[in-house]
């Protein structure tokens, strides 16, 4: 990963850095009319929670905008928001006419990266928005999952499993965005032909993830035959979490009904075996 990517990975602190630490004295700092700003076309967030915006608006009304909006100039006295669209929208709700901005000379590619990373790191994107952001960062910058992990601060398994959600039908993705279907439930539907119908059944009957894993097992069996090393993503996540905590390779297997199973710990030498025994005896 290049130096610029590492800089972006530090979030807005890198953007706000200046030789002059006093923003009000910086040539890049300016107070502008709120109408001179326009949204970033690369904004990954498509849904802005109304209650959260109102809370932010009330905070801005009582305390002012504590952090400037990062922008780039696109015309005379016209700017595109690079980071801070929620603050811009909230300010409009309470009728603020002027806002503080920091003007940066940023390329189209950097605008996209900053917008995605700022949203991923600082606000709660829904899983579908996050998946699209990960995919866009990966494709447009030729980042592999390892580079994305370093850049964003999310685990490799989280990134790969989140991106896999995009294999689902658009109607199922809409249910996730509407917060009617959890990410855990949605992942069990990947590769299932009647995924949307099952999604509606999950919602109506309040089914658990384990319930759906059992009902979709017949589809996953067929997939396992074509993909030798297939592992259910929920199980894979549990394995990774346990492996990271123990420092040992771990596998989890469920029986056909999914009601019981086994956990296997792998050690590479007798010292590791002794360590496992000490932990179990505590």
The strand pairing partners of 70, in sequence order, are: 83, 102
Tracing tokens 């990517």 back to the chain, one arrives at 5
CA-wise closest residue to 140 among 111, 109, 115: 109
- Strand 98-103 and strand 29-33: pairing? antiparallel
The sign of the CA dihedral 51, 53, 56, 62 is: negative
User: Is 178 tagged catalytic?
Assistant: no
Which residues are CB-neighbours of 203 under 8 A, at least 6 positions away? Answer: 175, 180, 181
Residue 118's φ and ψ, nearest 5 degrees, are: -60, -40
Q: Are 190 and 168 in contact (CB under 8 A)?
A: yes
Q: Which is the catalytic residue, given 42, 85, 118, 129?
A: 85
Buried b (16+ CB within 10 A) or exposed e, 101-112: bbbbebeeebbb
CA-wise closest residue to 56 among 82, 32, 13, 86: 86
Q: How far apart are CA 96 and CA 59, in angstroms?
A: 12
Give the DSSP H/E element, type plus range, for residue 74. strand 69-75
Buried b (16+ CB within 10 A) or exposed e, 223-258: eeeeeeeeebbbbbbebbebeeeeebebebebeeeb
Q: Are 183 and 189 in contact (CB under 8 A)?
A: no
Q: What residues are annotated to the active site?
A: 85
């Amino acid at each position: 990963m290049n130096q610029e990517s590492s800089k972006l990975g530090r979030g807005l602190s890198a953007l706000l850095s200046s030789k002059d630490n006093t923003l009000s004295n910086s040539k890049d700092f300016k107070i502008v009319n709120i109408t001179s700003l326009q949204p970033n076309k690369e904004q990954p967030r498509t849904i802005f929670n109304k209650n959260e915006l109102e809370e932010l608006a009330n905070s801005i009304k009582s305390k002012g905008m504590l952090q400037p909006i990062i922008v780039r100039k696109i015309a005379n006295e016209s700017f595109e928001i690079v980071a801070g669209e929620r603050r811009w929208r909230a300010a409009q709700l309470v009728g603020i006419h002027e806002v503080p901005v920091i003007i940066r000379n940023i390329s189209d590619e950097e605008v996209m990266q900053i917008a995605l990373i700022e949203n991923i790191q600082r606000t709660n994107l829904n899983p579908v928005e996050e998946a699209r952001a990960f995919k866009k960062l990966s494709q447009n910058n030729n980042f592999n999952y390892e580079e994305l992990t370093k850049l964003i601060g999310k685990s490799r398994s989280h990134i790969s499993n989140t991106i896999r959600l995009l294999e689902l039908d658009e109607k199922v993705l809409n249910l996730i965005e509407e917060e009617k279907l959890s990410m855990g439930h949605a992942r069990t539907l990947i590769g299932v032909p009647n995924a949307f119908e099952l999604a509606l059944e999950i919602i109506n009957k309040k089914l658990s993830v384990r319930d759906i894993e059992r009902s979709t097992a017949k589809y996953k069996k067929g997939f396992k035959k074509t993909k030798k090393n297939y592992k259910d993503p929920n199980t894979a996540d549990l394995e990774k979490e346990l492996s990271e905590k123990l420092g040992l390779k771990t596998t989890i297997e469920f029986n056909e009904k999914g009601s019981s199973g086994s956990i296997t710990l792998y050690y590479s030498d007798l010292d590791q075996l002794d360590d496992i025994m000490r932990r179990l005896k505590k």
